[in-house]
Structure 1
C-alpha cells in the first residue's frame, strides 16, 4: 500500500524511508512544488536527499546535478500543470517515468563527472527549460 502524501513527505524529510526508487524522487519534487514554490522545492529535495542517503549509509549516492536537474524539470511542470494528484501528473507527463531522461539534456561525460556530482552543472546538450 502506498503511503499518503503527507506521511511520505514527512518520512522523506526526516530521512526515514528504507528505499527511494526513481518515482519517489519525482513524487517528492511534485509534492514540494505544489506545497511551496519551485526554488523551495529544489532546496527541500536537496536537503531531504542528503539526509536520506546519509541515514541509509550511502552518502556517496547523493548527486547534486541529478538532484537539481530533476527538481527543475519536474518542478517546472508541476508549477504550470499541477494536476489533481501525483498519479494524474504522471499520466500527463509520462516522460518523468524515464530514469534516463537526463540523457536528453546531458552527455554521460558531463553528467557523471566528479564536478557534476559535487555541484550543479548546466546541461551540455540542451537547456532544462
Structure 2
C-alpha cells in the first residue's frame, strides 16, 4: 500500500523540480507528514527511500536513522507552523534545508554505526524539538 502512495508523492514533488535534491526530500517528507501523520510517514518515506535506493543499484545509501530523523524533524515543524504551502513552510524553517542539520542532534560516529544505518537510534547530542531531554 505504501509503494503507490510514495510514488504519487514523488511525482507531485518532481512536477515542479529539475532534480531530486535535499529540498525535494524535505518537500516529499512534508507532504507525507501532512497527509498521513508522523508514524505513517516514517514507514512511507523510509520504505520508499529504501526501495528507490535498491532500484538505483545503491541499497547501501539507505540509512534508517537518517530517514526517520528527518520525518521527525519535518513533522514537528509542520505541526507547529500549520503552513499549507511548502514554499512558505521552507521559508519559515530554513534550518530544515541544511543537510547538516542532524549534526546538531547526533555525533558523527553514532550515525556512522551499523546499528544506526539498519535501525532507529535516538539523538545523542540533543533531543529533537518537542522532546524533553530526559526522554
TM-score range, shorter chain: 0.7 to 0.9
Gaps of 5+ in 1: 1-5, 13-18
Given that residues 46 and 67 in structure 2 are in contact (C-alpha distance below 8 angstroms), is that contact kept between their aligned partners in structure 1? yes
Given that residues 27 and 86 in structure 1 are in contact (C-alpha distance below 8 angstroms), is that contact kept between their aligned partners in structure 2? yes
> Match for residue 120 of structure 1?
120
> Match for residue 15 of structure 1?
none
Instruction: Tell me how large the CA RMSD over aligned residues is.
Output: 1.9
Aligned length, in residue pairs: 118
**Deviation for aligned residue 1:62:** 0.2
Q: Deviations over 1:97-124 (max 9, x none)?
A: 1110000000101011111101110111
Partner Cα separation in structure 2 for residue 91 and residue 26 of structure 1: 12
Q: Deviations over 1:38-95 (max 9, x none)?
A: 1111111011101111111111100001000111000111123231211110000000
Partner Cα separation in structure 1 for residue 80 and residue 38 of structure 2: 10
TM-score, normalising length: structure 1: 0.84
**Deviation for aligned residue 1:23:** 1.3
> Match for residue 68 of structure 1?
68
- The structure 1 segments of at least 4 consecutive aligned residues displaced by more than 3 Å after TM superposition are none
> Match for residue 132 of structure 2?
none
Gaps of 5+ in 2: 1-5, 13-18, 130-135
TM-score, normalising length: structure 2: 0.80
